[in-house]
Structure formats: C-alpha cells, structure tokens
C-alpha cells in the first residue's frame, strides 16, 4: 500500500487511475542512498527512473564556460519528496542529461526503464498518460534550468564575454 500511496502522490504518476498505478507499483523497488552519493552521472546510460520518497537531491549539469578548463558542476534543479527524476530513462537516446547527487540521506522508488517501457507498450493509455506527464515535467525542468543558468552563471559568463570583446 505504501508504494501505491507514493505513486499516487508523485508528480509523474499521480494522475493515473488505480489499475495503472498498481501495474507500476508491481515493478517498483525501494532503494536508499547516503548523503553525498551520486545516484547517476550525466552521460551515463539511463536505465532507471526514480521517485524520491525521503530526502532531497540536486540535479547538476557540467558547465564548461572555458573549453580548456575543467567543467563546473552546476545545480539546475532541486528534487524533493514525491518528485520523479531520471526521466531520460524513457526518452531516446536513454542517456541521463544531468547528474543526481543526494543532499541528505535519501530513499526512493526505482523502476527499471525497460520493464516500465514494456508495461507502457502493453497498456497504451498508460503509456500515453505517462509520456504526456513526462513531457510536461521535462518542459518545466528545462525552463528551471534555463532560468538558473541565465540568472546566475549565464550572467557571469556574459560579463566575461563583454570584457573580452571590449
């Protein structure tokens, strides 16, 4: 029942009907991570989708403002309880577009992407509803990422460019 309740509260699966939630609950497993742990890295093969059940984690992207210098891990979004992360596991080319780092001890539901994809294919309305919601969440996260980069690091970089060209 706890998994169903978590899925019902989640940003990705919360609008699904109970029969569809049960299909997803059947393929979930609980996982835990210590503070500071990297759940996945940007560029890794995306094999699992997650719903955070406890704790907080940050999504980070490597930003390389100067090509010859090392990349700077830059926070682009904060994930809290009942939010999904790792949605790249459902979208070709199935590569994580950011890293997920735990800011506290975390627990989550993990769902193997290949199993979820088969479940979605066998129940097309479920697949449609999940992908529709995933597209909405990706769009929202992209807007957050753009805002964070343009109001923080982006402005710093613009300032450097202006000084270099003046």
Reported confidence tier of residue 156, pLDDT bands at 50, 70, 90 = very low
Domain positions in the chain are 2-155
- CATH class for the region spanning 2-155: mainly beta
Sequence-separated (6 or more) residues with CB below 8 Å from residue 135: none
Does residue 7 contact residue 28 with C-beta atoms inside 8 Å? Answer: yes
d(CA 51, CA 33): 13
- 66-105 pLDDT, tens per residue? 888 888 888 888 999 999 999 999 999 999 999 999 999 9
Residue given tokens 């996260």 in the structure block: 141
Cβ-based neighbour number of residue 11 at 10 Å:
19
- 32-41 pLDDT, tens per residue? 999 999 999 9
């Amino acid at each position: 029942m706890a998994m169903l309740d978590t899925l019902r509260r989640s940003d990705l699966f919360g609008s699904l009907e109970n029969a569809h939630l049960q299909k997803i609950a059947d393929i979930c497993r609980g996982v835990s991570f210590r503070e500071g742990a990297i759940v996945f890295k940007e560029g890794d093969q995306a094999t699992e989708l997650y719903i955070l059940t406890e704790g907080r984690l940050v999504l980070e992207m490597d930003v390389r403002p100067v090509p010859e210098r090392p990349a700077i891990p830059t926070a682009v979004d904060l994930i809290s309880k009942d939010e999904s992360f790792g949605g790249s596991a459902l979208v070709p080319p199935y590569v994580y577009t950011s890293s997920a780092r735990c800011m506290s001890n975390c627990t989550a539901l993990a769902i193997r992407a290949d199993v979820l994809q088969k479940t979605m294919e066998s129940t097309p309305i479920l697949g449609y509803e999940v992908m529709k919601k995933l597209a909405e969440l990706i769009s929202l996260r992209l807007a957050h990422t753009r805002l964070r980069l343009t109001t923080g690091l982006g402005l710093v970089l613009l300032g450097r460019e202006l000084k270099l060209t003046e």
